[in-house]
Amino acid sequence: MNADIWKYTRSGFDKNEVITNGNRFLIGNGFIGYRGTMDEWGKDELSAVNLAGIYDQNGDKWREPVNAPNGVFCKILIDRIPMALGETETKEHTQTIDFRRGVHERETDFGKATLKSERLCSMVRHNLIASRLTFKLCEDSRVEIITGIVTDIWDINGPHLFDHAFKTGRVLVVSSKTGELSFPVVVSQAAVYDFPADEVHEMAKTGLYRHISFDGKAGQEYTLALFCAVYSGQKGEQLNKSAEDLVIEAEKLGFCGVLAEHEAAWDALWQNSEVTLEGDDKAQRALNASIYHLHSIAPRHADNLSIPARGLSGQTYKGAIFWDTEIFLFPFFAHTDPALAKNLLRYRIETLPGALKKAKEYGFRGAFYAWESQEGGAEGCSYFNANDIFTRRPLRTYFRDKQIHVSGDIAYAMWHYFALSGDDSLLREGGAEVIFQVARFFISRTHQRVDNGKVELLDVVGPDEYHERVNNSVFTNQMAAFCLENTIKTADYLKGKYPSEYRALMDRLDFKEDLAFCRELLPKIKPQFDPEKIIEQFDGYFDLEDCSLRTVSSRILHKQEYWGSNNGVAAHTQIIKQADVVAMMALFPELFSPEAVRRNWEYYEPRTEHGSSLSACMYALTACRFGRADLAWDHFLKTASIDLTGTSKSWAGEIYIGGTHPAANAGAWLIAVMGFAGLSKQNGRIMLSPCLPEQITRLSFRVIAENGIRKTVTVTHEGYEIQ
């Protein structure tokens, strides 16, 4: 097999690629995300050690996740000339990410010396980053290495860390506290080298450094290993150990030992999640990259964390959890690693109090989940999510207030965890309560018309964010109907199997009347689909100006102009941001015939800007439902290579929204497995309905089948096998 399917390399240096490369070459282990930057770079190049689950607000700026001080910073000077990419002339330079092993590599020939480094965020020790630098001199020279823990770091809305306390010694330690809630963030560093050198320590304004210097010999290879532990005192971290102990342990193991156990852990992840696409190496590599990113951000160290919309690639989107997790990421984990899928949903159980509070604030009952959820379910979404590029005034957007489908999406995943795995523990450990409280929210959010008795959901935003404050978004109504239906099913199930537990829950939530409402409202709110007609995205959508995407684009006056909100170029037309009706068809396949899907797909696809990375995968998935793998293919490539090409939208108005795209990464898996192979589960059994693109000769993957047993599925143009 071609080795390139596991690696992505870029050669040369282009300063315009620095930010994108930070995303492309990201490494992570679910707790730490380290951007793909050079060892010697700092905040100007957006070097960042992004942490999961810890947030801070500075003044009235947006609340965002905390970046830790960088403990694997390292700059080498040869005869006082820094070996720094972008600063010093280089002869050759390559940067590589190895998807199979989760290792970042760089090799730079600076003329005076060559420098190679390997870096990893340990998949075994989640608090640990390790890096190994190897350099060779061209001629005898004085070498000075500056390494240590940099506290002057990149933040979008920072600074977030204060009261730095420095400790020197064999292990360097910087202890800080977040500004808002005084959470500890402790970073330690150990440096291991086997050449005789002088080492002095410096406490500076920008961090705590070691200066290691010696007279180097031409042609000799020198190696320095750095171990950095980041500790933030959260659940799931190695709490019994200090950051200092953690690096001492790693130091004992040595870089090779740390690397070996890390590679073994990655190998185990790939055993259960690899998807082989034979016939197109580029597509295979893009899919490997996508699955790699999913593993890099999956919180394996904790049982109550979820995955932010930009993963661990930075503070964009405020490090918040969106519907992306439940609708896009959840199926990948549910089919390959149910324990992890369960943990993601546990985050929603733990944050239920936040959702109850939000519903109350808006005058509703039940659970209205945050559109952008931070720790404890706190709403991270502001009232103004874009700026008017011309007036520079903030634009009022209604995602936070009106994108109520998020609650339904969470209940949808909660139910599907049970339906897919048959494991009712999540329902019993709070999942049923989430489902009930979401139903209660929808009940309180509906209006009933006096004239015809119709039950409606008014003034909402569906997945297509360019049309705000619409009535009866069909996606939202269908999701609400599904929630009411599954509330009844969940109640029946618990009542039959665990009667006393059921009674206690019903009493505690005082839910009897709401359950009756569910039965009463369900037939009234459930959208009725005429299989012969195109489904109208919301009331009045068909009356909007029906013009082409090109026409709308031609009206743009500034390339960073926001298309939605009140006056955006798309808002009064039928041009939509992302899959909406088609997304609903993807999520409720049993409701629509292939012909109905085709008809709607053909209507909506040309009217979709695909302005969200969540869009193309829904179109690819549904194209497979009506047998058009050729239509799915381009959307697949676009989705799977999103973080390799780095060409997706980075601005919403003047707001930077760049980073990696977990929902699209998972979308690539969805297309390959649920689209090309047509995987579904019926009554616990896996079923296939393949639609293999001509570019692919063989598709193969492992999934959890009956009774939790893993099976290997192979699809070719001749047929399929499940073993």
Contacts to ligand BGC by CB under 6 A: 309, 317, 322-324, 463, 465, 577-578, 612, 614, 663
Rounded to a whole number of angstroms, the minimum distance from the CB of residue 32 to ligand BGC is 21
**Annotated active-site residue in 465, 468, 605, 609:** 465
- Largest Cα–Cα distance of the chain, in whole Å? 91
Strand, coil or helix: 159? coil
Rounded to a whole number of angstroms, the minimum distance from the CB of residue 614 to ligand BGC is 5
- Output 21 or 578, the one with its CB closest to ligand BGC: 578
Q: Is residue 545 flagged as an active site residue?
A: no
| CA angle in degrees (0–180, nearest 5) for 602-608-612 | 135
Strand, coil or helix: 622? helix
Residues in contact with 504: Cβ distance below 8 Å, sequence separation at least 6, in sequence order: none
Rounded to a whole number of angstroms, the minimum distance from the CB of residue 310 to ligand BGC is 8
- Output 97 or 663, the one with its CB closest to ligand BGC: 663
Residue 457 in contact with residue 472, Cβ under 8 Å? Answer: yes
- Output 323 or 436, the one with its CB closest to ligand BGC: 323
Long-range Cβ pairs for the range 265-273 (8 Å, 24+): 265/123, 265/124, 266/100, 266/101, 266/102, 266/123, 266/295, 267/100, 269/123, 269/295, 270/100, 271/702, 272/336, 272/337, 272/702, 272/710, 273/332, 273/336, 273/337, 273/701, 273/702
Nearest to 649 by CA among 690, 620, 611: 611
Residue 608 in contact with residue 615, Cβ under 8 Å? Answer: yes
Rounded to a whole number of angstroms, the minimum distance from the CB of residue 663 to ligand BGC is 6
Residues in contact with 351: Cβ distance below 8 Å, sequence separation at least 6, in sequence order: 369, 370, 373, 376, 377
Rounded to a whole number of angstroms, the minimum distance from the CB of residue 309 to ligand BGC is 4
3-state secondary structure 360-399: HHCCCCCCCCCCCECHHHCECCCCEEEECCCCCCEEECCH
* Per-residue tokens: 412: 């949808």
One-letter amino acid identity for 35? Answer: R
Q: How far is CA 213 from CA 198, 199, 254, in A?
A: 5, 7, 22
- Output 644 or 666, the one with its CB closest to ligand BGC: 666
Rounded to whole angstroms, the Cα distance separating 350 from 175 reads: 29
- Output 145 or 309, the one with its CB closest to ligand BGC: 309
- Output 161 or 461, the one with its CB closest to ligand BGC: 461
- Output 323 or 601, the one with its CB closest to ligand BGC: 323
Rounded to a whole number of angstroms, the minimum distance from the CB of residue 395 to ligand BGC is 14
Residue with structure tokens 């199926």?
331
Rounded to a whole number of angstroms, the minimum distance from the CB of residue 466 to ligand BGC is 9
**Which string of DSSP letters, residue by residue, matches 288-327?**
HHHHHHHHHH---S-SS----TTTTS-SGGGG-B-THIII
Q: Return the active site residues.
A: 465
